[in-house]
Amino acid sequence: MLIADRYEMIVELVNDRGSIRVTELSVLCQVTEETIRRDLDRLEKAGRLLRSHGGAVSLRDRQPEMPYAEREIMNAAEKQRIAREAVLLIKPGERILLDASTSAGYMATLLPDMPLTVLTNSIKVATELSGKERIEVISTGGQLSRRSMSFVGHLAERSLDLYHVDKLFFSCKGFHFEHGVSESNELQAMVKRRMLDIADQIILLCDSSKIGIQSFTHVAGTRELNAVITDYRPVAEQMEQLRELNIALTTV
């Protein structure tokens, strides 16, 4: 197969599936994984796809994100109550991970200045914490997503491999009791999936507008969560499901 033909095959596969891993492309194209990685780097520079940790993501079907400033004012009172409750779970000396959600942004505002290490891909969170001298702030870096004021892409995902945290606090576009946590944007979802892998405890911050929603891209199964903080009051069957999965629920 000519190199140009392989490039076209790769782009077609990525666009058809939305995302694909290097290992799969290596088998399908019958070349080494190192060759595929070089191909993906060249195709990303050519603007034909976007590299992610372990593979590539289609540019064709990327979901637009709502700007941070717009999300911040939606259900603001509920998110602030959720954030205030989440801050109570943090102990001095811990290492925590905050995503680029507006709920995490409110947490950063409410966090007291105490000995703490905070890892984040959020510019908003890093900025909020910059004036708190006892909190060490580590940013993932990566590709800047201007609408969410956060870092995404394979550099952001790869940097997370360097760390391990006690607790992850993250939010989502939708939380369905059967199907789990989902996001509207695949790049954000891929970063959040990586965050789950490096945390001992996984705590979902979820206002009631997101309950029962199954959005575009899967992030985590319900059984992967340790706790949910929400303003939603689950019905009896949902409460029983959470109990069976040993998920702590806090309703604010």
Q: At 152, which CATH number? A: 3.40.50.1360
Is 194 a member of any domain?
yes
What is the average pLDDT value for the chain, to the nearest integer?
90
Residues 111 and 130 in one domain: yes
pLDDT for position 64: 59
Is 135 a member of any domain?
yes
pLDDT for position 75: 76
Greater model confidence, 96 or 214:
96
pLDDT for position 95: 98
Q: Give φ, ψ of 160 to 5 degrees.
A: -65, -25
Distance in angstroms (rounded) separating the CA atoms of residues 99 and 150: 9
pLDDT band at 58 (very low <50, low <70, confident <90, very high): confident
For residue 120, which of 20, 223, 199 has the smallest C-alpha distance?
199
Task: Provide the residue range defining the domain that includes 135.
Answer: 68-251
For residue 16, which of 51, 40, 49 has the smallest C-alpha distance?
49
pLDDT for position 66: 64
Residues 17 and 134 in one domain: no
As a whole number, mean pLDDT of residues 213-238 equals: 90
Residues 112 and 214 in one domain: yes
Distance in angstroms (rounded) separating the CA atoms of residues 252 and 66: 25
As a whole number, mean pLDDT of residues 90-118 equals: 97
Residues 134 and 30 in one domain: no
229, 205 Cβ separation under 8 angstroms:
yes
pLDDT of 62 over the 60 cut: no
Q: Last residue of a domain, which of 26, 57, 88?
A: 57
As a whole number, mean pLDDT of residues 172-186 equals: 89
Residues 42 and 141 in one domain: no
pLDDT for position 72: 64
Distance in angstroms (rounded) separating the CA atoms of residues 235 and 240: 9
pLDDT for position 40: 93
Is 109 a member of any domain?
yes
pLDDT for position 56: 86
Q: Which two tokens stand for residue 205?
A: 């911050």
Is 63 a member of any domain?
no
Residues 177 and 245 in one domain: yes
pLDDT of 235-249, one tens digit each?
Answer: 888 888 888 999 999
Is 42 a member of any domain?
yes
Residues 100 and 28 in one domain: no
pLDDT band at 92 (very low <50, low <70, confident <90, very high): very high
Residues 40 and 94 in one domain: no
pLDDT band at 67 (very low <50, low <70, confident <90, very high): low
Greater model confidence, 46 or 125:
125
Pairing, β 95-98 against β 135-139: unpaired
Is 31 a member of any domain?
yes
pLDDT for position 49: 84
172, 184 Cβ separation under 8 angstroms:
no
Residues 178 and 222 in one domain: yes
- Burial, 5: exposed, middle or buried (Cβ in 10 Å; 0-12, 13-18, 19+)? exposed
Residues 81 and 44 in one domain: no
Q: Which amino acid is it at 250?
A: T
Distance in angstroms (rounded) separating the CA atoms of residues 201 and 16: 35
Q: List beta partners, residue 202.
A: 168
Distance in angstroms (rounded) separating the CA atoms of residues 207 and 6: 45
With b meaning 16 or more CB within 10 Å and e meaning fewer, what string describes 50-59?
A: bbbbbbbbbe
How many domains is the chain partitioned into structurally?
A: 2
Residues 151 and 211 in one domain: yes
As a whole number, mean pLDDT of residues 37-46 equals: 89
How many Cβ atoms are within 10 Å of 133's Cβ, its own excluded? 8
pLDDT for position 65: 63
> The whole model's pTM is what?
0.76
CATH of the domain at 42: 1.10.10.10
As a whole number, mean pLDDT of residues 184-207 equals: 94
Residues 36 and 102 in one domain: no
Lowest mean pLDDT among 81-85, 167-171, 235-239: 235-239
The string of DSSP codes covering 50-80 is EEETTEEE-STTPPPPPPHHHHHHTTHHHHH
Is 87 a member of any domain?
yes
Is 62 a member of any domain?
no
